[in-house]
Amino acid sequence: MTMQILLKPALLALNSLKYAYKFILIGVLILGSLSFPLYYLVTDLNKGQDLAKRENTGVEYNRGLFSFMSAIDEHRKLTLSKGQMQATEDRIDQTIAQMDELDRKLGTSLKSSEGWKKLKQHWTEIKTTSADFLPAQIVNEENFLMDEATDLAAHVGDTSKLIIDQNLDSHYLIEATIDSLPQLLKSIGNMRDQGIRMGDKKDLSRDELTDITGKAAAIKSSTADISSGYATISEQNPDLKQELDPAYQQFFESMDRFQFELNERYITYGTVTGTYDQLADSAQKAIQAILDLHKVDTDQLSSLLQQSQSHYLRVKLEVGSAVSILTLLVCYMFIGFYSSIMRAIRSLVHSTTEVSKGRLQTQMQATTKDEMRAAAESFNHMVNEMRTLLGASARNAVHATDASVRLADIAKQSSESNASLTASIQETAQGTEMQLQGTIDSATAIGEMAVGIGRIAETTGNVLQVSLDSADQAEEGKLALDRVVNQMGAIQESVDGTASSIDQLSGVSQQVGQMAGFIKSIAYKSNILALNASIEAVRAGANGKGFVVVADEMRKLAEMSGSSADGIAEALNQIQKTSEQSLLAMTHARQEVQLGSQSVQDAGRTFQLILSSTRSIAGQMQEISAAAQQLSASSEQVSATIQQIAGIAKGSSEQMDRMIGMSSGNLTAMLELSEQADRLKELSLSLQQQIDRFTN
């Protein structure tokens, strides 16, 4: 189950592709997985090859710098010994021209052009100003020039990646050519030049002896480093030892000789013994040995770097060839595998096509020993089983054809019998339906008559009830009229009392009017009196001012009393008018009450007559209601009987309908059975014909 889950994405991808695309996809995945490590391998090889090439450029550049340094050393010796320097200067100029050519090609990549320009400029200054300085000063400048050349060589070793070379052989050769041999060349040249300066001395000062001893120790240390590197190279690479051995032996002998001369002439005894020529000769031989060894080391280092480049190139070619061969082999095997699969698939397609055409004698040929052989055997077994199955099916088809013919005949006979039965049932159903319709019509008529009688009985009962209610209401009406007559008498008495009260009110109003007139005359007189008082107060002058105020207030009080009296008189007039109108109304009401009392008495006599008639009608309606109820009960009994007859007729009709439906369904089914029997017969014949294609 876990494997199926893991393979589900791969199956989804592969099942949607044809075999050609499947093989292409698998090939791309395999080659793609190989291409990544191959890419990193080739990239690493290219880096190694480029590094070796860059290191070789540094070696070539430093070779020219060392030639320049040896020429400067020769010029330094001649400067102190006052020898012929023209040839040396020409050699330096020639070396500079060669270095210019190298710097144009390699200076940009090694970042050394600026340093080389300074060296040339320094040499030009020394050369042009040599006539103005002492030889010792010129030698000091040339020593500085040698130091600058040594620093430039170290810079080139750094920029060309010589310093980081991990190969032991190359490492010691690089150290010798960049550091040890140039330092020895400069140190031995300095000792040689110092010997020239001390040539006339017999005794050495302590400082001079210390200086010489220190320089000798430095030379010895550099020589020991070179010897150690040579021993390592000899141990690691015996073939290279054979190439380096003569130059190193000469170098060690020359250095031993120079150190012996230095110790014997200067250091051991603390005095100068011998001549300068002996030291100069040993120094010159040592310098020549250094130059020869530098040339040999440089040549061998260049050869090692070229071999490294060739090695990386050869490995790239070998890897590329191996990958190409492997790719071709994989493609060849994939094509062969694809051809094998496609041949088997084409054979399977051909065999299935032949089988589909009815050629059941076809057999799939399998020439492989893989799963396709098992598939071919399974296919052949399937064809054999199919041939056996089709033979049995042919025999069953013949039997099915015969059975279908017999079934069709039986179905046809059953259909005819069902058709006759259906016709008889339909005639019986029509008679039943007519009987049912007559019964339903009778039941409907009786039902309607029963409903009418019921309505008559109901109406009679309602009329009887209404008559009884009317008699009761007439009795109540008579009693109410009696009460109304009594009330009308009371109303008449009240109206008479009210009229008398209104007459009394009218008399009182007249008295109040007279009193209001009296008040008005008093107010008028008070006003006149107040006016006179005001006049008198004015005449009195200052003494009558207080009385003027009182008179004024009295005048105002008289005016207010007059106004109030006028208002009372006007109200009394309104009351009198209203009383007169009320008196007239009460007189009219007294007359209406008398008329109403008479009408009520007449209505009472009429209600007495209505009550007698209503009681007579109620007795007659009771007799009619009893007869209607008896008639309604009889009609309901007749209606129920007819309804039962109609229900029985309806049930018979429904049974006949169901019988007709069943007969019709049976007839339809028999017809469909007959059609299916014919169809089965046709299918059996067709099946037999199809089987005959595979069996004949």
Exposed/middle/buried for residue 413 (C-beta within 10 Å: 0-12, 13-18, 19+): exposed
> What are the two backbone dihedrals, phi and then psi, of residue 83, each rounded to the nearest 5 degrees?
-90, -175
Position 308 confidence tier, pLDDT thresholds 50, 70, 90: confident
pLDDT at 547: 63
Exposed/middle/buried for residue 319 (C-beta within 10 Å: 0-12, 13-18, 19+): middle
What's the pLDDT tens digit per position in 558-602? 677 677 767 776 766 776 677 677 667 667 766 765 776 676 566
Q: Which two tokens stand for residue 236?
A: 């690691």
Vertex 308 angle, CA 307 and 309, to 5°: 90
Averaged pLDDT for residues 83-87? 76
Q: Which two tokens stand for residue 493?
A: 């008495």
A 10 A CB-CB count for 303 gives 15
Whole-angstrom Cα distance, residue 544 to residue 552?
12
pLDDT at 117: 93
Q: Which two tokens stand for residue 643?
A: 């309804």
Q: Could you tell me how far CA 630 lies from the centroid of its own chain?
A: 90
pLDDT at 652: 58
> What are the two backbone dihedrals, phi and then psi, of residue 203, each rounded to the nearest 5 degrees?
-120, 150
Averaged pLDDT for residues 236-260? 86
Q: How far from 677 is each of 402, 403, 417, 420, 672, CA to CA, in Å?
A: 11, 9, 18, 22, 8
Mean pLDDT for the chain overall: 74
pLDDT at 95: 92
Q: Give the gyration radius of the chain's Cα atoms.
A: 79
pLDDT at 271: 64
What lies within 8 Å, CB to CB, of 348 at 6+ separation is 364, 375, 376, 379
pLDDT of 118 > 90? The answer is yes
pLDDT of 441 > 70? The answer is no
pLDDT of 642 > 60? The answer is no
What's the pLDDT tens digit per position in 1-39? 577 677 777 767 766 777 677 778 777 777 777 777 777
A 10 A CB-CB count for 601 gives 14
pLDDT at 98: 92
Vertex 361 angle, CA 357 and 367, to 5°: 105
Whole-angstrom Cα distance, residue 79 to residue 380?
108
Position 687 confidence tier, pLDDT thresholds 50, 70, 90: low
pLDDT of 178 > 70? The answer is yes
Higher pLDDT, 372 or 436: 372
Whole-angstrom Cα distance, residue 366 to residue 362?
13
Averaged pLDDT for residues 84-89? 81
Share of the chain above pLDDT 70, in %: 59
pLDDT at 198: 66
Beta carbons of 400 and 648 less than 8 angstroms apart? no
Q: Which two tokens stand for residue 671?
A: 């017809």
Reduced to 3 DSSP states, what percent helix, strand and coil does the chain have, rounded to the nearest 5? 95, 0, 5
Select from 422, 420, 418 the least CA-distant residue to 657: 422
Contacts 24+ apart (CB under 8 A), 425-433: 425/656, 425/659, 425/660, 425/663, 426/660, 428/656, 429/653, 429/656, 429/657, 429/659, 429/660, 432/649, 432/652, 432/653, 432/656, 433/653, 433/656
Position 191 confidence tier, pLDDT thresholds 50, 70, 90: confident
pLDDT at 356: 75
Please count the residues of the chain: 696
Furthest CA-CA distance within the chain: 200
Whole-angstrom Cα distance, residue 241 to residue 327?
43
Vertex 596 angle, CA 595 and 599, to 5°: 90
Instruction: Map 468-490 to HEC letters.
Output: HHHHHHHHHHHHHHHHHHHHHHH
* Sole residue written with tokens 């057999």: 363
Instruction: Map 92-154 to HEC letters.
Output: HHHHHHHHHHHHHHHHHHHCCHHHHHHHHHHHHHHHHHHHHCCHHHHHHHHHHHHHHHHHHHH
Q: Which two tokens stand for residue 389?
A: 């199955």
What's the pLDDT tens digit per position in 39-51? 778 787 787 777 7
> What is the residue type of 110?
L
Averaged pLDDT for residues 53-77? 86
Give the pTM.
0.47
Averaged pLDDT for residues 454-475? 65
Position 101 confidence tier, pLDDT thresholds 50, 70, 90: very high
pLDDT at 449: 60
Position 335 confidence tier, pLDDT thresholds 50, 70, 90: confident
Least confident of 162-176, 349-363, 374-388: 162-176
